[in-house]
Amino acid sequence: MLLQFSVSNFRSIKDEVTLSMVANEEDDAHTDWLCQVGSEKLISAAAIYGANAAGKSNILKAMTVAIRLVRYSNLRGINDFFPEIIPFLFDEETRMNPTGFDFIFIYNRKKYQYGFSLDKHVILEEYLYLYEGSDFFKIFERVNTDHYSFPKENEKRFNEYAEKNTSNKLFLATATAWNCAETRDAYLWFAGAIDVYDFNGISSEGLDIIEEEDEALKAFLIETLRESDFNIADYSFEAIPMTLDDFKKSGVPDLIAELIRGGSSEGEGKRYKITTSHTIKIRDGNKRFDLPLHEESSGTQQMFFFAALIKRAMESEKTIVIDELSSGLHPLLLQAIIKMFYDKKLNTTNAQLIFSTHDISLLNLDLFRRDQIYFVEKNHSTGISDLYSLDEFFPEKEENARESYLQGRYGAIPVISLEDAIW
């Protein structure tokens, strides 16, 4: 589970900003929604609001970049650099300064803090700490690219790992690749316990999950779609091997192009045929009608794949982060999705959902605690994005958060002037 993510000097983010999933203990609202993990009380969902171009997506991009840098570090060539690292460019000093990432998380019942800083060419700093109660212990520290510090009892063994590392690779990944037990769990959290998606990418991940043909998953999908009022009684799934020539001959429509996977260099891949079944009342009784999934509404398609994502997350204690979750889904469906993460009978592993949205219909204190709502606001005179929580404004329980937001009380809204518009 994610406890906290911080980033500095990345795109429109100049100074360090922090997204915390730790519950405010002074807030007694909706305490039954909280996850208790050891001594930590955590929120299971967080929403990020902000105007267009305010920097919401940059928060999630930063998380994406950091996760991928860890996950794929061992694939880097010795001369590879980091084109994805873009510092804050509206300041001469920050242009030359490193970008920093920091995560605090729990995996396999252990609490870790891991972070690193880098420029476009090398890793400059890196560290991993293990918490035991209020105390924390150093697993490793790295400064000035190739200067390492280890606990005395691990020094000889860890120095051997360091000798195998390079200036553009993360020690966390290198040590784990050499079977270092002390770094393994921390690396595995990045490898599989947190994922970031834009909303259009949900279908790809969901498709991979559905292809496994899990009967429990199928039952969950059908039940979720039924509860979502989509009138889908069943579905069928078929993966059809195809060559590149087959694709060309088939004239596959653009609408279902994202459901097609390319494979080998020979152009082999698959076409996925998904058919939904509807039971429709007619004059003589009920009749079953089948529809290709790509002929269903965009909301139905997105909910179909998102339900698979939810099921997988709740099976594996996963944190899923989604940019623009509200795209293509009715607000009531969004509310239902959020409440799934609150449901202790359904979310037995303390899975988490973090998302950005423009949907202000969700902005109410019956659906969220104050510490679950975040805002991103950009200072247009400086170009700097700031991230802050509704918790900082101490709204009353009976306050209409949506109206207060629209009135500008919390900031993070577009400033619109039509006085000089030419019609």
* Burial annotation 303-327 (CB, 10 A radius, 16+ → b, else e): bbbbbbbbbbbbbebbbbbbbbbbb
Phi, psi of 94 (to 5 degrees): -70, -25
**Which residue shows structure tokens 């607000």?**
331
Most confident of 48-52, 61-65, 320-324, 399-403: 61-65
Residues 131, 39: Cα–Cα separation, whole Å: 12
- Share above pLDDT 90 across residues of the chain, in percent, rounded to a whole number: 67
**Domains and their CATH numbers in the chain:** 1-193+316-423 (3.40.50), 204-311 (no CATH)
Long-range contacts of 125-130 (CB under 8 A, 24+ apart): 125/98, 125/100, 126/170, 126/171, 126/172, 128/172, 128/183, 128/186, 130/182
The pairing of beta strand 373-379 with beta strand 352-356 = unpaired
Least confident of 82-96, 136-150, 260-274, 286-300: 260-274
Q: What pLDDT score does 246 carry?
A: 66
Q: What pLDDT score does 249 carry?
A: 62
**Per-residue pLDDT at 114 exceeds 50:** yes
Q: What pLDDT score does 367 carry?
A: 96
Most confident of 211-215, 234-238, 255-259, 264-268: 234-238
Q: What pLDDT score does 302 carry?
A: 85
Q: How far is CA 290 from the centre of its chain?
A: 34
Rounded to the nearest integer, the mean pLDDT of the chain is 89
Q: What pLDDT score does 268 carry?
A: 63
In three-state secondary structure terms, 322 is: strand
pLDDT band at 284 (very low <50, low <70, confident <90, very high): confident
Phi, psi of 215 (to 5 degrees): -65, -35
C-alpha count within 13 angstroms, C-beta hemisphere, residue 310: 26
Q: What pLDDT score does 255 carry?
A: 36
Q: What pLDDT score does 20 carry?
A: 98
Over the stretch 161-209, which tens digit does the pLDDT of each residue have? 999 999 999 999 999 999 999 999 999 999 999 999 886 667 888 888 8
Residues 13, 232: Cα–Cα separation, whole Å: 44
**Which residue shows structure tokens 């994805």?**
84
Least confident of 10-24, 112-126, 311-325, 386-400: 386-400
Tell me the longest C-alpha to C-alpha distance in the chain.
Answer: 81
**Which residue shows structure tokens 């420029």?**
119
- What average pLDDT score do residues 301-309 get? 89
Residues 356, 24: Cα–Cα separation, whole Å: 21
- What average pLDDT score do residues 202-224 get? 86
Top-confidence residue, 394 or 407:
407
Contact 225, 304 (CB under 8 A): yes
H-type helices in 123-253, by residue range?
A: 155-164, 171-177, 181-192, 202-210, 215-227, 244-250
Phi, psi of 156 (to 5 degrees): -60, -50
Over the stretch 406-417, which tens digit does the pLDDT of each residue have? 999 999 887 665
Q: Which residues does residue 6 pair with via DSSP β-bridges, in sequence order? A: 18, 102
- What average pLDDT score do residues 368-395 get? 94
pLDDT band at 123 (very low <50, low <70, confident <90, very high): very high
pLDDT band at 265 (very low <50, low <70, confident <90, very high): very low
Q: What pLDDT score does 417 carry?
A: 54
**Per-residue pLDDT at 285 exceeds 80:** no
Q: What pLDDT score does 254 carry?
A: 43
**Which residue shows structure tokens 């299971």?**
44
CB atoms within 10 A of CB 131: 18
Task: Give every CB contact of residue 242 below 8 A, 6+ residues apart in sequence.
Answer: 250, 260, 268, 269, 270, 271
Least confident of 84-88, 205-209, 242-246, 339-343: 242-246
Q: What pLDDT score does 205 carry?
A: 83
Top-confidence residue, 228 or 7:
7
pLDDT band at 142 (very low <50, low <70, confident <90, very high): very high
Burial, 145: exposed, middle or buried (Cβ in 10 Å; 0-12, 13-18, 19+)? middle
Q: What pLDDT score does 261 carry?
A: 45
**Per-residue pLDDT at 82 exceeds 50:** yes
Which is it for the CA torsion 373, 200, 61, 44, positive or negative?
Answer: positive
Over the stretch 244-263, which tens digit does the pLDDT of each residue have? 566 556 665 543 443 444 44
**Per-residue pLDDT at 422 exceeds 70:** no
Q: What pLDDT score does 245 carry?
A: 65
- What average pLDDT score do residues 345-366 get? 94
Over the stretch 28-38, which tens digit does the pLDDT of each residue have? 999 999 999 98
DSSP strands (E only) in 260-351 = 260-262, 269-282, 285-292, 319-323
- The DSSP-derived string for 261-279 is EE-STT--EEEEEEEEEEE
pLDDT band at 211 (very low <50, low <70, confident <90, very high): confident
